[in-house]
Chains A and B, each alone.
Chain A
Amino acid sequence: MASENKSEILAEHAANSALNKPALAPVARHNMDLSADGLRSPLDERIIAASSEALEAGHTHYVDVPGIAPLRAAIAESLNDATGARCEPGNIIVTAGVQESRFLTIQKIGENFESIAVPAVAHPGARKALGVRARNVIPLSVDAERGYLPPIAAISEVVAGGCRLLYLESPSRLSGAAYTADEVAAIGQALRDSGASAIWDQGLAPWVDGDCPSLAADEDRPALFTTIGEAFPGMGLASWHIGYIAAPEDQIPAMQSQKQIMAICTSTAAQYAALEASNLFVEARGLRMSQLSQLKSRLIEVAADRGLDVVTGDAKNIIALRASEAGAASLRDAGFDFAEGASFGAPAVIRLNVNAATADALQALS
């Protein structure tokens, strides 16, 4: 007997375009897959040793919901050093990857607000998280010439219109474009003036040369701003799914309670691995950045030679290009996978990882 209840569930599901946005993979599926969010990186032997030792020592049981204390401290210290934030371990929740960070912040901080402003171009994971439980989403216009970041004027406008929670990415997950220090200060000012809060995805910040300005460093009202990202990216842990939320103290209990409801805690193997990664991160990042910077510079030259239109972006791990349907199809035909701008909200753009295979992809694209 056919189930009407099930038919209704499936019909509701089919109509939920946000939830059905494609999910981007954390790592490449094959050598010609340039679509992944994370880097395929080697795993240092010391990380393997630390995680193995923890498991052998019996750290195979539940741990505290927000994460093991030394990892929370290590994440807080790393964020403070990198962004000028003033996080304490109590401000940190360790998550099972950045998507869980998106979900927890968007849904739980979002509960306190009537609406949430989301850039017209944003990581599809943000829309998926919004699709789980209906929220009133205010579209935030973006500037294609500025790497698809929302202009300050657009941010001020939605805040003036009464929206008190914004979801922002810097660097942009599509283009890698990051706000400058002056722009971040202006955003902070606009939000502070109206008492608005922000969820700030800074997961790509480690791949920007020098400092990548963060709202987390805002001195006047840090209590309004929550940051999220991958924990110690580029350390070979992308498939282990480990991320963080750094939130004002009063926001922590609700998200911690929700984390308990939906996961209890994060995998101990991943947490102990991330803890060791924290000791190696600064040096490893420096090395990786130097490789990525060289690679990306070369790719931009290759793209220019071939008349390709590169979107401005600061993060060195990705390169976004404006591409015609025919160009994208030729790339696909050549066996490459890439992140489609349409899933971010920018149909005429594609995003490629920066690695050894990317130059071949540009060749195929041109």
Chain B
Amino acid sequence: MSKKKAEGTNLLYQLMSEARTYDDVIVMGRGDPDFDTPAHIVAAAKDAMVNHHADYSPPEGLLALREAIADRVKRVNNIDVDPATEVVVTNGGQEALFLMVLAVLSPGDEMIVPEPNYNTYADSLAFAGGVKVEVETYVQNDFRADPADVRAAISDKSRALLLVSPNNPAASVISPPDMREMLDIAISNDLMIIADDIYDLFVYDDFTHLSPASLPGGLERTLTLNAFSKAYSMTGWRLGWIVGPADLMARVRELKAAISGGTSIISQHAGIAALTGPQDAVEMMADAYRRRRRLVLDALDAMGMKYGLPQGGQFVFADIGFTGMDSGEVAQRILSEQHVLAYPGSAFSKDRKNYLRMTFLQPEDQLIEGLERMKVAMHNIMADR
């Protein structure tokens, strides 16, 4: 009897499960920063345990945290929201993503999705009964989502446009002119926008992130997510947010109450400290990712691998088409032989079977060692062809 081949999220979990069995594994797969949460945030959590452990929080989150979020999105993204009615706190970016999709899509509705994209969008869309309409992007254009292709994908069932910038896994950033055109398309075709800004603090070189909700006419049709996980290295705290227009946010609030009821009071107090406290750690981490990105790209160049230039984010999406093998098999072989975990592109899109996603969320010495091992694995793969 043949074993069913794991796909999508299940494939990633299968690989992660195997990775845990190796003592010397180097993880370049999961988007979990190697840095621990900054000490002042942990201290705020401890204080909350003593002084606020039994406080009430409404499903949408503590007002103090929503105010801090409103300040943050104004300062960083130039989005104007009312913390009383236009912010909902979530159990991480993942719950935010799920809520946004459920808030906007009904069964049969189409969402236009520039590919490749974070696999959970497809999973959430499937739960909602929505239909994914893919818009291709190409490595030779650094995975730029072309507004003309988006326009061509619109049908009478289109209800939403997904804009993840910087993108996961392709690490492309939608340029300001393209973002303005995307918004024009959304307005002229009456599409809602689901915007994922989770990597907005990690943009490289001269690239610029622009939030669609910051543009005239943008906020009223856009739900924007972000989270503490990547910027503050708080993946285990499960804390994120959605901002958007009050009428749609009322729906998001009810969905949040229905799905999980609320968000841990301790994580929320930690989040207040993160947003209102010193930001040195964020800058330190951003500097580290900048250095590591260069290191990874140099190694890939030395291996002769093609990739889309990571304009933002915390990873690189590299073309392994030269191996002639499916990315799932390549990722499996690199893991089994060299104990290096990279994510197969096929987990993000069925059409990305010749890509690997590699994160730069490990210390530099680990990254160097991981890339050396990967080089050996690639050499072995090519020698076996």
Contact = CB atoms under 8 A, between A and B. Distances in A.
Mutual binders A and B: yes
B57 interface: yes
A9 B223 CA distance: 13
Nearest to A20: B254
A3 B251 contact: no
A23 B257 contact: yes
Most B CB within 10 A of own CB, among A3, A103, A261: A261
Contact of B254 (A5, A47, A65, A128): A128
A265 B238 contact: yes
A59 B45 CA distance: 13
B182 to A, nearest CB: 16
B123 interface: yes
Interface stretch (A152-160, A172-180, A267-275): A267-275
B103 A99 contact: no
Interface stretch (A50-58, A79-87, A285-293): A50-58
Contacts of B257: 23, 99, 128
A100 interface: yes
Contacts of A62: 30, 32, 235-236
B236 A60 contact: yes
A58 B103 contact: no
A99 B59 CA distance: 11
Contacts of B255: 19, 132
A242 to B, nearest CB: 8
Interface in A38-73: 40-41, 43, 47-48, 51-52, 55-56, 58-63, 65
B377 to A, nearest CB: 25
A165 interface: no
Interface string A228-251: 000000001111111000000000
B204 interface: no
Given A262-B94, A267-B264, A9 B248 contact: yes
A29 B265 CA distance: 13
B233 A26 contact: no
Contacts of A3: 190, 192, 220-221
A239 B57 contact: yes
A245 to B, nearest CB: 13
B54 A55 contact: no
B42 interface: yes
B91 interface: yes
A263 B95 contact: yes
Contacts of B217: 1
Contact of B46 (A36, A48, A95): A48
A133 B125 CA distance: 12
A104 B248 CA distance: 24
Contacts of B58: 25
B54 A100 contact: no
Most A CB within 10 A of own CB, among B103, B236, B257, B262: B236
B9 to A, nearest CB: 6
A27 B56 contact: yes
Contacts of A36: 56
A9 B103 contact: yes
Most A CB within 10 A of own CB, among B9, B91, B233, B264: B264
A257 interface: yes
Contact of B192 (A6, A96, A97): A6
A305 interface: no
A61 B260 contact: no
B54 A13 contact: no
B190 A132 contact: no
Contact of A55 (B32, B42, B221, B265): B42
A63 B236 contact: yes
Given A55-B42, A56-B42, A29 B36 contact: no
Contacts of A29: 56
Given A61-B32, A240-B264, A269-B237, A261 B123 contact: yes
10 contacts: A9-B104, A48-B50, A98-B261, A99-B257, A99-B260, A261-B120, A263-B238, A266-B238, A269-B270, A270-B267
Give me the 9 closest cross-chain CB pairs, A-B, nearest first.
A99-B261, A128-B258, A23-B257, A268-B236, A239-B265, A60-B37, A262-B98, A29-B56, A100-B260
Interface of B: 9-10, 13, 30, 32, 36-37, 42, 45-46, 49-50, 53-59, 91-92, 94-95, 98, 102-104, 106, 120, 123-124, 127-129, 159, 187, 190-192, 217, 220-221, 233-238, 247-248, 250-251, 254-255, 257-267, 270
Interface of A: 1, 3-6, 9-10, 12-13, 19-20, 23, 25-29, 33, 36, 40-41, 43, 47-48, 51-52, 55-56, 58-63, 65, 95-100, 103, 125, 128-129, 131-133, 236-242, 257-258, 260-270, 273
